[in-house]
Structure 1
Amino acid sequence: MDNVTNDSFVIVGPEISEAERIARPKVSYLQDVWRRFKENKMALVALIILMLLGFMVIFGPSISGYAFEEVDRTARNQFPSLKHWFGTDKLGRDMFARVCQGGRVSLIIGLAGAFISSVVGCLYGGISAYLGGKIDDIMMRIVEIIISVPYLIVVILLSVVLQSQGIFTLILAMTLTGWCSTARLVRGQVLQIKGQDYVLAAQALGVSPWRIITRHLIPNVLSVVLVSITFDIPGYIFSEAFLSYVGLGIQPPNTSWGALAAMAQTSFTFYPYQMFFPALMIALTMLSFTLLGDGLRDALDPRLRK
């Protein structure tokens, strides 16, 4: 035993320094979401298209050099050219400037409507699910009654009562019933997580129900709400386009993509470009937001995190 020294032993396994070495850099949840989102090429292309559309509707009229309401009777119904990129309408107004202006109105209605519906739906659904019992039953029955009312009837009634068909009237009319689907979605998510340990701990510490709902429950369903918003925006844009197309939406001198398509229907046979460009903008926007929402749904799902 006197001949046994430290050199007689060989360390088997990794060195301590190697064991403590981090194999891969630490990645936060948001960084991992962006990494997975970039892997979805269709969603990335949709995001780029939306950015280009946003740039066009913001800076388009100043780039074209024409005001959207400017009338030039010597240039009526001209086809697309270097002077008028999207052509002109029957009054000689530049179609590119009008499409850009119409995009502002359509996107404002889509974004504002989706945001208002999400906020109201989150609060209503979160409160209903957290309180539960008879209160939950009553609140959900109210939602079912409201969601059964067609928004077209609401738009007509508000237009008559308020004697207005402007942007704010449309947003109010569509959000009066549009928040119900978000409320039902949030309620289902909150019912799944309100029994978690951190919620029970907050209740044991005496945290108020309102604070638990706004600080613990709703933030944990935001990923689902964000995806819902991306699907709601094209829905509001299409609803506005439909209402403007049937004459219940934006009225002159203001315009929107739906109003432009409605004006072009009478001359579509002879001047199809007047219908083509606003319809193309509606289709691109709705498709891009749908693909973006599909990509966000996969990227925000923590179960797919590697």
Structure 2
Amino acid sequence: MKEAKFVFIETKIEGAESTKPSLTYWHDAWRRLKQNKSSMIGIIIIFLIICFGIIGPYLTPYSYSDQVNEYRNLPPILKLYKADDDLYLHVSKDYNIFKVSKDGRLLERLQLDKNKRDIINKIYVYKYGDEEIKLDFSYNLLPTKQGYDYDYTIEYKGQVLTEPWSSKLNKKFPFGTDELGRDILTRVMYGARISLLVAFIATFVNLFIGVIYGSISGYEGGRVDDIMMRIVDIINSVPLVLYVILLMVWFRGRGLTNIVIALSSVYWVGMARLVRGQMLSLKEQEFVLAARTMGVSKMKIITRHLIPNAIGPIIVSMAMMIPSAVFTESFLSFIGLGVSAPMASWGTLANNSLPGLTTYPYQLFFPALSIALTMLAFNFVGDGLRDALDPRLRKG
């Protein structure tokens, strides 16, 4: 019997190192981005804010313009006074008395008896069924009563209340109400829609203009590059925010369209400079020379070879442009050049809260917090993308 010329051996060899599957550029970038905890936190915050603005308004019973005047200037946390076993009262900064449930749900505003109020001695009388509730808020106003630890007292059935029984979250208006009785939570949700919509549209328009402009300038070079970059220098000679303000004034109107046009008209210059620098370094590579030799058109070389190779810095720059656009839109709305009333972006809400800032600070806190969280989240993501898309760190 003839011996076999070939002998099969086991494919698995002990001690041999197992090779890992090769990762593409984008798979490797995503792997490193996931390792950046601050970037992942930023992505989660951005996702929650987008859901907050898109889905949130459908979950509230109010719109951004609904006014409930009897509940104006109410805080998100209610201080309750226990007047009876089933009677809990809250006194607003406007010296209105509200009947509140034990868990913090507003039930009704008590009616003021104008015939029995004493304006001179700062005593108001409110009706509660057949009973009266007397509110004395003269302790910080009249010299004879100054020096007490409380600002007012509530008298009901001979019992005088000076200290609140408990503090409860406002179940009806979780973020409180403004001077017209509008729900701040709902208005912040609609403000998220406006601010993010303007920011995203303006950013993508700036991305498109900046990439095209910078690609042509960097690839052509010579006199074309000089002329195009001098135009950019002229635009950069004046602060871009001032350009936007002048354009908004020139439009003589407020609205989303005018804000997007104003932001898109000048904010592309930073992207154009970045892309031009990338084009100047990439156009000297061998693959560009090979494409030229094969007769590929300039437009195809730019769109199919140069821009895809510069996509990493472009994405990072775009992520950094979004918080800048959010802040600029909020600033324009803050100075009165934003959307028209009763619509409100975060900047408009911040502007409306200024007259009562010392008395009702919560009206400024929530829109300001929304702006800060959005900008912080996008900056976290931008920093993570910058590290993840850096080709020098691929082996790290």
Q: State the TM-score, normalized to the length of structure 2.
A: 0.71
Q: 1:138 to 1:170 in 2, by over 3 A?
A: same
The residue that corresponds to 2:179 in the other structure is 90
- Match of residue 6 from structure 1: none
- Residue number among 86, 106, 116 corresponding to 2:195 in the alignment: 106
Deviation at 1:155, TM superposition (A): 3.5
Partners of 2:329 and 2:350 in 1: CA distance: 12
Partner of residue 328, structure 2 = 239
RMSD of the alignment, in Å? 2.2
1:301 aligns with 2:390: yes
- Residue 257 of structure 1: CA displacement? 0.3
Distance 2:289 2:377 in 1: 41
Paired position in structure 1 for 2:251: 162
Other-structure match for 2:153? none
For this pair of structures, how many residues does the alignment match?
295
Within 5 Å, which residues of 2 pair with 1:143-222?
A: 143-222=232-311
Counterpart of 1:33 in structure 2 is 29
Which structure has greater helix proportion? 1
Q: 2:313 corresponds to which residue?
A: 224
Distance 2:301 2:355 in 1: 56
CA drift at 1:160: 4.3
| Superimposed CA distance per residue, residues 229-282 of structure 1 (whole angstroms, 9 cap, x where no aligned partner) | 111111011111111111122221211000000000111111111000000000
Q: CA deviation at 1:153?
A: 4.2
Could you give the per-residue CA deviations for residues 154-210 of structure 1, whole angstroms, max 9, x where no partner exists?
344433443321111111112211000100010001111111111111111111111
In 2: Cα distance, 1:295 partner to 1:142 partner: 32
Shift of 1:22: 5.2
1:253 to 335, 338, 342: 342
Structure 1 position 131 matched with structure 2 position 220: yes
Shifted more, 273-282 versus 205-214: the winner is: 205-214
- More displaced 10-residue stretch of structure 1: 69-78 or 27-36: 27-36
> Could you give the per-residue CA deviations for residues 121-159 of structure 1, whole angstroms, max 9, x where no partner exists?
111001001000111111100111122233444344433
Q: Is the 8 A contact 2:245 2:332 kept in 1?
A: no
Structure with bigger strand share is 2
Tell which deviates more after alignment, 49-58 or 160-169: 160-169
Go from structure 1 to structure 2 and tell me whether the alpha carbon gap of 1:180 and 1:230 turns closer, same or farther (over 3 Å shift). same
Pair 1:67 & 2:67 matched: no
Question: Which amino acid is 2:40 matched to?
Answer: L
Q: Name the counterpart of 1:142.
A: 231
Q: Where do 5+ consecutive residues of structure 1 fail to align?
A: 1-14
Q: Report what 2:363 is aligned to.
A: 274
- Greater Rg by CA: 2
* 1:151–1:173 CA contact under 8 A, matched in 2: no
Q: TM-score, normalised by structure 1?
A: 0.91
